Chain A
Amino acid sequence: MSAPQTSLSHVDQGDPEVRRGQEERLSAVWATPKGWRYWTAVNNSEVGLWYICTAFAFMMFAGVLGLLIRVQLAFPDNQFLSAEAYNQTFTLHGTAMMFLFAVPIFEAVAIMILPALLGARDLPFPRLSAFGYWCFLIGGIFVCGSIFFDAAPQGGWFMYPPLSTKQGGIGADIWLLGLSFIEVASIAAAVELIVGVLKCRPPGMHMNLTPLYGWYVLIVGGMILFAFPPLIAGDFLFEMERAFDWPFFDPERGGDPLLWQHLFWIFGHPEVYIIFLPSIALLAMIVPTFARRPISGYSWIVLSAMGTGFLSFGLWVHHMFTTGLPSVSLGFFAAASEAVAIPTGIQIFVFVSTLLMGRVTRSVPMLFAMGALAIFVAGGLTGVMVAVAPFDFQVHDTYFVVAHLHYTLFGGMLFPLLAGIHYYFPIATGKMLSRRLGIWSFWLMFAGFNICFLPMHLTGLLGMPRRVFTFPGGLGWDWLNLISSVGAFVFAAGFLVFVWDVVRPKRETDAATRNPWKAGTVEWMLEMPPKPWGSRTIPKIESRYPLWDDPEFLTKYDEGRFYLSDAEEGKRETIITSVLDAQPIQCLRVSGPAVITMIAAGMLGASFIFATFHWWWLTIIATLGAMAAIIFWLWTGTAQHPEKAEKDIGLGSLVPLYISGPKSTGWWAMFITMTGDLTAFLGVVFGYFFFWTVHEQFPPGGTTAPGWQWPLVAGVLLLAAWAATWGARVVNGRGRVGLARLLLVAGPVAAAAGIAALVAGPWFSGLDPTEHAYPAIVWALVLWTALHIAVGIVMQVYCLARSVVGHMTPVYDTDIWNVALYWHFMAFTALVTTLVIGGFPYVS
């Protein structure tokens, strides 16, 4: 894309009149909607703010539940909460803290600050962020609200079957469906953030100049794609058991409760690092600023974040050390659990080394960072202890582990996050938080935290198990528990000071000056208070700390002497760059305010909620409504034809306004989404082979049902549908539109026939999914594949319609590119499904 020299030389950026005109146009384009329409905003600064506030609201709700727990356990034989109320309370405390605070706050903060860190105007899919936010809000309210109707889940945040599959009521369904819904939001955010870091960096910001926060977001986004889907697969199996009695976890009919534990912890352990890494990433931004020097080991941090991300997937069985697995299995996981301490430690050591080499300025964010270090190092050390399996045999499921996990989460997540909120508060609001209140809240929280959780180590070693609603006196736990309860309230007081600091009316003296911390990274170029357009102009980056390294940087920025300093066409625009070296490759038009995202999220939420109550007809109606809304959203909001092919974005760069295929953001989004989807599918396949491992004979009784014939037919038909879609993309690109349309008719027909053949196998061989885990898992694979193919049919028909009305042409062909990519994944899914169900019975 080397552009001809047609820079905007006719524009004199030195002329204040010109600049005022540009700023007016930018303001108009990026204006936040007023009145009720405010809630239709999709811009990252609004959605990010709502997201952060909502996550903190859920956090405080869960925190109150935590306080209730501490009140109940303050004294032996306390009657404050009944057993059932307590069990609901601790289940919801863990669930809300993990799923409604810890993970979403990462997404929230990232959506809020990532564009600023990358000097971008917005993330590539603003409506997707908004959609994710509304999903999160609806799901969260649904899950949390249940406790007010005495209907909350009470199976623990890990929901182990058979306890939770046998429990009556809708608590477990609320947990499952509400959280599946929130996982959708997480994956949406992961797509947004990965594409954001890879494709939306400002020109010149090579991979090795990316702010460390960007690296962490990229790695965590990748982890979400491999960690959350197994839980979605688990949820799918779990809900099939609860709703339709498919016995995946019922040992009397060939199921196994341990399958859930595997699927849950394959998610659950990486999740801890998904929470930890983005928060430590904030420290990686904060520490250099206050050390007044670059981070002392940029590549060490990248290395360790990467290493942690990978190793964290080899730890899950350390949550299952006492389930009676062979010692050698425990050994593998103990080894990986010890090994992960190495990269984790390196990050801490890089921070300390940066402090050693710098001249440290004291500030509230640094205070929180130091507190985080003190707590996290302690939590990490107890983590090394519990990774030693024989020690874990003793402390597993005791208050020792409660103490350990709170040390890692407070030190690794909450304190860094609070440091980050103090640090980035000006970017969100243009105001500063109070130094005095910050110091007060820190010391109250730090002291309260340690008073609460330090004694718990001992409580656990003295034999107190977790998740008990009461305990007898005289076992040495009485005083320890009372001290913990007092500490919890001290902590809560400190947190309230922080909340007050955030919500109190701000005076003029609280207004932030520009770059208040004298940082070197690019987000601090923003005007204070920040403007709705984000970056005045998208900068050209030459170093990791441009504000420190280039004294002219701010002047050039203010005068709009970089890219896209105007919005001539009245569109919201940002720059898409190449992955490694950030060369501009496209000027992306991003979408503006929309109601449809809210409607789509509402419909999808309704379908999950109706399913909880087993109102199947309403569920189907809501699902169709959600699909219709999403199709409307895509049809009206994506792949629009630009009024010209290319645009001059300044500094002599002429880039296209429309690209399709592997360079486009949409293609990447599809690729990333489908990677996650494929992982979930492999989770279900894992179920099949897990059953094979634990059974003497699997399939049971040597059956070969559903036979090889129908799966073979299904496989051939589905591969034909895939070939038709792929072919349609190729011939459409060569201008043979008629043939492409023909293939887009043949494709859905083959796919529909494929679904029929796929279902015919188990149907005609009489496999009854409620009889045994074998037919159940076969049907689960068939159902999963059939539903995905059905979505694929909708996509094929969508492309056909776009082609017929002229929205899709040989030039503007991003729709068929993305649909063909979806079908590549479908071909693999169909192949695996048919091979497993039709082939494996003959070889086992």
Chain B
Amino acid sequence: MTNRPAKVRRRPSGPARPSLVALPILLMIVAGCDGPQSALSGAGREATDVSRLFWVMLVGGAAVWIVVMGTAIFAVLQPPRGARVGNAFIIGGGVVFPVVVLAALLAYGLSMLPDWAQSGTRLKVHVTGEQWWWRVAYELPDGTLVRDANEIHLPAGEPVEFVLTADEVIHSFWIPAIGGKMDMIPGRTNRLVLTAEKPGTYRGVCAEYCGTSHALMAFSAIVHERDAFDAWLAGQAKPAVVADSVGARRGRDQFIAAGCGGCHMMRGVVELGDVGPDLTHVGSRRTLGSGILPNDRETLEAWVRNPDHLKPDVAMPGYAMLPDADIAAIATFLEGAK
């Protein structure tokens, strides 16, 4: 600190440093932007458009930043300039340039606003936000509903309309890799049209703070080719499969006896309650607990015992009082419910 002027003189590199370092890092990361939850991975038409817009705005913004800060640092270091320079700078840089650029950006942004009236989708997916999971139903062209939970399956290459609402509190439905988010608001129905393009498995989340376990409210979004999607949907419409084993059948009986059906729909097995996630094909899901846990035996058992440990404040009570053998049997049964 002895060399004060030098210290201050070094400022030019100072403010510039983060962005100069950051730019190459950003560019390197472009390749690594393909995460399952990345808005930059461009697996859907909307996300691709937005990420293109982002890169353009980033480059433009960085240029503006460098010019403004460069001028400011130049102004500090250099001898005074005349009033003409100062005034021209204010009018050119502060008024004319922003008015033109912002008008262009606004027009471009407006042209990107979705005009969904004309999209003419074949498939409608109803999604309801619950605390903290997703109630899902696929509406076929004939109006029948195929119910599911905590997973979204989509056909590639065609627009799909999501009909979004919520039960108790506000949530927000977001599959970053495919497109922007839309809030789910109790008492309102929002619509969102997304077009998935690249088949694969992505991750969606709740983006609006919705209470204690907001962080634990995710889902898998699986994009299929059209044929595979149709096949999946047909399978989904069928009742639950009970695996052909003693354990699974015992598990089914225990499932009913313990009263699980009071909340969970399991088509073909028990169809009483409907306040919790539909479990008809739970064995075929990628995750448990709404996108947060691996779907395996161990987790199934742990969940049945003490769901609150895995997801604080969850509505489901724990069944730790059941004998281990019963829990194991229920897990076997659920695992087999493909």
A-to-B contact residues, CB < 8 Å:
82-84, 87, 154-156, 160, 162-163, 166-167, 251-252, 255-258, 293, 296-297, 300, 322-324, 327, 330-331, 334-335, 338-339, 341-342, 345-346, 348-360, 362, 366-367, 370-371, 373-374, 377-378, 381-382, 384-385, 387-398, 435-436, 439-440, 443, 446, 450-451, 454, 458, 461-472, 475-476
B85 near A356 with CB under 8 A, answer yes
Known: A390-B53, A462-B35, A466-B209. A360 touches B40 (CB 8 A): no
- Complex Cα distance, B46 from A88, in Å, reads 35
Quick check: B203 and A475 within 8 Å, CB to CB? yes
**What chain B residues lie within 8 Å of A387 (beta carbons)?**
109
Chain A residue nearest to B292 (CB atoms) is A472
B283 interface hit (Cβ, 8 Å): no
A154 CB contacts on chain B under 8 angstroms: 212
Chain A neighbourhood of B210, CB < 8 A: 163
Most chain B CB within a 10 A radius of its CB, from A251, A323, A356:
A356
Residue from A257, A370, A394 in contact with B11 in the complex, judged by beta carbons closer than 8 Å: A370
Residues of A within 8 A of B185 (CB): 257-258, 323-324
**Beyond A83-B313, A458-B29, is A446–B37 a contact (Cβ under 8 Å)?**
no
Please list the 9 inter-chain residue pairs (A to B) with the smallest Cβ-Cβ separation, ordered nearest first. A251-B187, A393-B180, A463-B37, A349-B94, A324-B190, A468-B215, A374-B15, A355-B75, A388-B109
Task: Identify which of A163, A451, A458, A462 contacts B211 (C-beta below 8 A).
Answer: A163
Once the chains bind, are B89 and A475 in contact (CB under 8 Å)?
no
A-facing residues in B283-302 (Cβ within 8 Å)? 292
Bitwise, B115-129 to A at CB < 8 A (1) or not (0) is 100000000000000
Contacts of B211 in A (CB 8 A): 87, 163, 167
* Complex: chain A residue closest to B218, CB-CB: A472
Question: What 0/1 readout, one digit per residue, does chain B (205-220) give for beta carbons within 8 Å of chain A?
Answer: 1111111111110000
Known: A322-B183, A334-B109, A390-B53. 6 other contacts (CB 8 A): A160-B208, A296-B83, A353-B87, A355-B76, A370-B73, A388-B109
Contact flag A356-B37 (CB < 8 Å), given A324-B191, A362-B8: no
Q: Say whether B307 faces chain A, with CB atoms less than 8 Å apart.
A: no
A296 near B87: Cβ-Cβ < 8 Å: yes
30 residue pairs bridging A and B, Cβ less than 8 Å apart: A84-B212, A87-B212, A162-B186, A251-B186, A252-B187, A258-B188, A293-B80, A322-B182, A322-B207, A324-B190, A327-B113, A342-B102, A346-B95, A354-B86, A356-B71, A357-B85, A360-B75, A360-B77, A384-B57, A393-B46, A394-B181, A396-B207, A450-B18, A458-B29, A464-B37, A467-B215, A469-B214, A469-B215, A470-B215, A470-B216
B247 at the interface (CB under 8 A from A): no
Q: Do A396 and B292 form a contact, CB below 8 Å, given A355-B76, A468-B214? A: no
CB distance from B89 to the nearest CB of A (A): 5
The chain A residue with its CB closest to the CB of B68 is A377
- Report how many residues on chain B are interfacial, defined by Cβ distance under 8 Å: 102
A387 to B57, CA, bound (A): 12
Q: How far is the CA of A425 from the CA of B85 in the complex (A)?
A: 34
Q: Which residues of A contact B22 (CB under 8 A)?
A: 454
Within the complex, which residue of B47, B69, B89, B190 is in contact with A356, where a contact is CB–CB below 8 Å? B89
Residues of B within 8 A of A373 (CB): 68-69, 72
B79 within 8 A of A: yes
Determine if A465 and B83 form an interchain contact, defined as CB atoms under 8 angstroms apart.
no
Knowing A330-B113, A339-B102, A348-B94 touch, does A394 contact B50 (C-beta < 8 A)? yes
Q: Are B105 and A338 in contact, CB atoms less than 8 angstroms apart?
A: yes
Please name all residues of chain A whose beta carbon is closer than 8 Å to the beta carbon of B72 when the two chains form the complex: 351-352, 355, 370, 373
**Contact indicator B75/A352 (Cβ below 8 Å):** yes
Asked whether B26 is an interface residue with its Cβ less than 8 Å from the other chain, the reply is yes
Given contact pairs A163-B209, A334-B106, A393-B50, A463 touches B38 in the complex (Cβ within 8 A): yes
Tell which of B74, B77, B114, B208 has the most Cβ of chain A within 10 Å. Answer: B208
Bound-state CA distance A458–B23 (Å) is 11
Query: Which residues of chain B are within 8 angstroms of A397 by Cβ–Cβ distance?
Result: 172, 181, 207-209
Residue of B whose beta carbon sits closest to that of A349: B94
Verify A462–B37 contact, CB threshold 8 A: yes
- Across-interface contacts of A353 in B (CB, < 8 A): 85-87, 89-90
Q: Closest residue of chain B to A439, judged by CB?
A: B7
A-B contact count (CB 8 A): 293
Closest B residue to A374 by CB, please name it: B15
Q: Does B317 contact A (CB under 8 A)?
A: no
A346 is contacted by which of B86, B90, B174, B292 (Cβ under 8 Å)?
B90
Residue of B nearest to A449 (CB): B18
Say yes or no: is B231 at the interface (Cβ < 8 Å to chain A): no
**A446-B14 in contact (CB<8A):** yes
Q: What sequence of 0s and 1s flags, for each residue 319-338 of chain B, a beta carbon within 8 Å of any chain A beta carbon?
A: 00000000000000000000
**Min CB distance, A69 to chain B, in Å?**
12
**A83:B181 contact, CB within 8 angstroms:** no
Interchain CA distance A397-B171 in the complex, whole Å: 11
Let me know if B39 and A461 touch, CB within 8 A. yes
Distance (Å) between the CB of A76 and the closest chain B CB? 11
> In this assembly, does B170 line the interface, its C-beta being within 8 Å of a C-beta of chain A?
yes
Chain A residues lying within 8 Å of B4, measured Cβ to Cβ, are: 435, 439
User: CA A371 – CA B15 in complex, angstroms?
Assistant: 7
> What's the Cα separation between A385 and B215 when bound, in Å?
26
Q: Which residues of chain A come closer than 8 Å to B213, judged between CB atoms?
A: 83
| Assembled-state Cα–Cα distance A475/B64 (Å) | 31
How far apart are A150's CB and chain B's nearest CB, in angstroms? 13
* B110-167 residues at the A interface, CB under 8 angstroms: 110, 112-115, 164
B residues near A384, Cβ cutoff 8 Å: 57, 61, 102, 105
Q: How far is the CB of A699 from chain B (nearest CB, A)?
A: 18
CA distance A462 to B71 in the complex (A): 33
Task: Report how far A156 CA is from B208 CA in the complex, Å.
Answer: 10
* A341-B98, A362-B76 known; A381 vs B8 contact (CB < 8 Å): no
Are the CB atoms of A256 and B187 closer together than 8 Å?
A: yes
Residue among A338, A359, A393 making CB contact with B181, cutoff 8 Å: A393
CB distance from A335 to the nearest CB of B (A): 6
- B49 CB–A CB distance under 8 Å: yes
Q: In the complex the two chains form, what is the Cα distance from A737 to B312 in whole Å?
A: 70
Distance in angstroms between the alpha carbons of A300 and B35 in the assembled complex = 47
Q: Is the CB of B38 within 8 A of A461?
A: yes
Q: Is B234 at the interface (CB under 8 A from chain A)?
A: no
Q: Are A327 and B114 in contact (CB under 8 A)?
A: yes
B169 on the interface (CB 8 Å rule)?
A: yes
Name the B residues within 8 Å of A378 (CB-CB). Answer: 19, 61, 65
Complex CA distance for A633 and B162, rounded to whole angstroms: 61
Task: Give the complex CA separation of A467 and B211 in angstroms.
Answer: 10
What 1/0 mask marks residues of chain B from 8 to 29 whose CB sits below 8 Å from any chain A CB? Answer: 1001001100110010001001
- Chain A residues, CB < 8 A from B216: 83, 470
CB-contact partner of A300 in B79, B90, B102, under 8 A: B90
Q: Is the CB of B5 within 8 A of A458?
A: no
Q: Which residues of B contact A446 (CB under 8 A)?
A: 14-15
Which residues of chain A are near B36, meaning CB under 8 Å? 475
A385 x B169 contact (CB < 8 A): no
The answer to whether B113 and A390 touch across the interface, beta carbons within 8 angstroms, is: yes
Instruction: Select A342's contact among B64, B99, B174, beta carbons within 8 Å.
Output: B99
Bitwise, B244-256 to A at CB < 8 A (1) or not (0) is: 0000000000000
Over the window 175-195 of chain B, the binary record of Cβ atoms lying under 8 Å from chain A Cβ atoms (1 yes, 0 no) is 011011111011110110000
A-side contacts of B69, CB under 8 Å: 373-374, 377
Contact flag A390-B94 (CB < 8 Å), given A156-B209, A356-B71: no
